[in-house]
Amino acid sequence: MKKIFNYILAGGILSFSLTSCVDQLDQMPHIGTTSDDVYNSVDNYTSVLAKIYASYIMTGQEMGGGNSDMSSNTGQDYMRCYFNLQQLGTDEVASTWLEGDNIFDLSYLSWDANDPWVSDMYYRAYYTIAVANEFLRNSGDSKIASFSENDQVILRRYAAEARFLRALSYYHVLDLYRKGPFVTENDPVGAFIPPCYTAEQLFSFVESELKEVGELLPSKNETIYGHASRGAAYTLLAKLYLNGEVYTSTRYYDECIDAANLVIADGYSLESDYSKLFNADNHKRTNEIIFPFVVDSRTSVSWGSSTYIVCGAMGNTSDFLNPMDYGVAAGWGSFRVRGNIPTLFEEGDGRAMFFTQGQTQEVEVLDNQSNGYFVTKWTNLTDEGKPSSNTQSFGVDTDYPLFRLADVYLMVAESVARGSGKESRAKAAEYVNMLRERAYGDQSGNIAATELTEQLILNERARELYWEGTRRTDLIRYNMFTTNSYMWEWKGGVRNGRAVSNKFNYYPIPTSELSANPNMTNPEY
């Protein structure tokens, strides 16, 4: 059994209701049980913290999302929404159920403020923020003064974790929407109209929070699996800085390297077998996986998160692909990869994990399951090659590795390629070559320091990180997502691709929020 949150294994998540009140101006979740009833023991604090973590992969109090958390949402979980918004409109995913899953507009870069996925992601992010805020309202020194000194140490660490998780969700708001309502534990609960924070304001808040909690969270070796560590905080800080020019028009590549070096110094190392980072035993890869979302078929059954990716990648009409070879009882046939991505892989690169038999590389029809290769990178297999769970009844056991060391190495390399002098080109090339040596099994794929370019890093990020929720952000950073500088099949809704409006570099605030909060507007939408 996985070494995951012992309090989830011991009894699950504390059950209390947080529902979204659409008649409130801020549409934020509100506590249905009083704080005095909840925050009266360390065990209950532990359970509420577990609820914050679980909010990224589950939508309710029961298996598969039963007894749902909120009403202003169509029932999709956080990470399923995030994957769709980060991947479906890019060259990495060809979606099958365009109409049935309402993903036509996401796939063709043509969404508007009424898109259900855009709305679901927005409200999932703010739900997590609201639960974290409530936790923090009850975690100040005066609130925990009655606990023993040892318990206060635990609760202060929990508060640092909650602040990290809130910063993570605010980072997602920044990256996806470029602005959003801003609420912290210091604001009143109830009829409160949150101010609209700009991208620059959200950037500053997330930066400040991550710097502070990075000093409060435990090191890699002191962290319980599944909890946030200082490495998680500094990895997110590096991501923030890598994209800082997009958010604020200011370059932060020196700062990106500084944050990345703090992660590297904490003692992480690369896993020798790339495929084991995405299997049902990936909870054992704490050497490389810096921060996961824990998915477990016994304690946290979810039809989103990594279950969505593993089962969705398996075709259900193919005469050749057997889902059981990848630990999946029945394939969902949700998506494949578009034609550009396989061309990035050279012969011998073990990261090219595609099922090609019976499939065309080109995607002539986006929702035709025989068009585009299936991706077999994510599985529900144990290290011994056995299915870990019955995916039809209980989902997968594969954790979602949100942050891992390979991404940190690539952030350093890109920052150097973009002109930072905080690290040498030789060291940056060494980091890239460490990934390529793992991929090729030898040094045959190594690059020279003189070959280190921005384009090489973008391609290497696609080879290393495809289907890990980074592609949209990467393409925007390179000014390739909406422009005519790079085309892929069905970009903008046409076979050979076309440029679209730059407004599609971010998502609109949902229409329902505009009517609830007069501080929010969508000028370009």
Q: Distance between CA atoms of 206 and 241, rounded to whole angstroms? A: 11
Q: What pLDDT score was predicted for residue 64?
A: 59
pLDDT for the residue 13: 35
The β-bridge partners of 404 are: 289
pLDDT less than 70: residues of the chain = 1-34, 61-67, 70-73
Tell me which residue of 331, 352, 302 sits closest to 467, measured CA to CA.
352
pLDDT value, residue 24: 32
Residue 230: C-alpha distances to residues 140, 335, 523 (Å): 21, 35, 38
Distance CA 298, CA 284 (A): 18
Cβ of 30: how many Cβ atoms within 10 Å? 15
pLDDT reported for residue 28 = 42
| Tokens read off for 152 | 């206060």
pTM over 0.75: yes
Res 154: pLDDT: 97
pLDDT of residue 36: 72
pLDDT for 65 = 61
For the segment 384-430, what is each residue's pLDDT rounded down to a tens digit? 999 999 999 899 999 999 999 999 999 999 999 999 999 999 999 99
Among 342, 375, 321, residue whose Cα is nearest residue 489 = 342
The pLDDT value given to residue 384: 98
Cβ–Cβ < 8 Å for 304, 323: no
Alpha-carbon distance 447 to 461, whole Å? Answer: 15
Q: What is the distance between the alpha carbons of residues 371 and 315, in angstroms, rounded to a whole number? A: 11
In whole angstroms, how far apart are CA 161 and each of 102, 216, 384, 410, 453? 34, 9, 34, 26, 36
Measure Cα distances from 265 to 257, 258, 302, 456 in Å.
12, 11, 34, 25
Rounded-to-integer distance, Cα 410 and Cα 460, Å: 8
Predicted pLDDT at 72: 61
DSSP state of 466: T
pLDDT given at position 319: 96
Distance of alpha carbon 25 from the chain centroid: 28
Q: Hey, what amino acid is at 493?
A: G
pLDDT of residue 33: 56
The CATH number of 6-216+506-515 is which of 1.10.10.10, 1.25.40.390, 3.40.50.620, 3.20.20.450? Answer: 1.25.40.390
Beta bridge partners of 360: 371
- The two structure tokens encoding residue 398: 């594969």
- What's the Cα-to-Cα distance from 242 to each of 195, 296, 338, 506, 507, rounded to whole Å? 27, 32, 26, 17, 20
| Residues 6+ positions from 89 with CB-CB distance below 8 Å | 106, 107, 108, 109, 472, 481, 491, 504
pLDDT at residue 191 in the model: 78
Q: Are 397 and 389 in contact (CB under 8 A)?
A: yes
- Among 280, 284, 286, 281, residue whose Cα is nearest residue 309: 280
Q: What DSSP character marks residue 374?
A: E
Q: How far is CA 359 from the centre of its chain?
A: 29
Interatomic CA distance for residues 115 and 120, integer angstroms: 9
Distance CA 57, CA 290 (A): 18
Q: Distance (Å, rounded) from C-alpha 268 to C-alpha 219?
A: 11
pLDDT of residue 17: 36
Domains of the chain by residue range: 6-216+506-515
List residues bridging with 335 in a β-sheet: 95
Pairing state between β 196-197 and 180-181: antiparallel
Asked if 402 and 291 touch (Cβ cutoff 8 Å), the reply is yes
In angstroms, the first-to-last Cα distance of the chain is: 48
- Our measurement of the distance from residue 326's CA atom to the centroid of its chain's CA atoms, rounded to an integer in Å, reads 23
Question: 504 — alpha (psi -120 to 50), left (phi > 0) or beta?
Answer: alpha
| Token couple for 390 | 């019955």
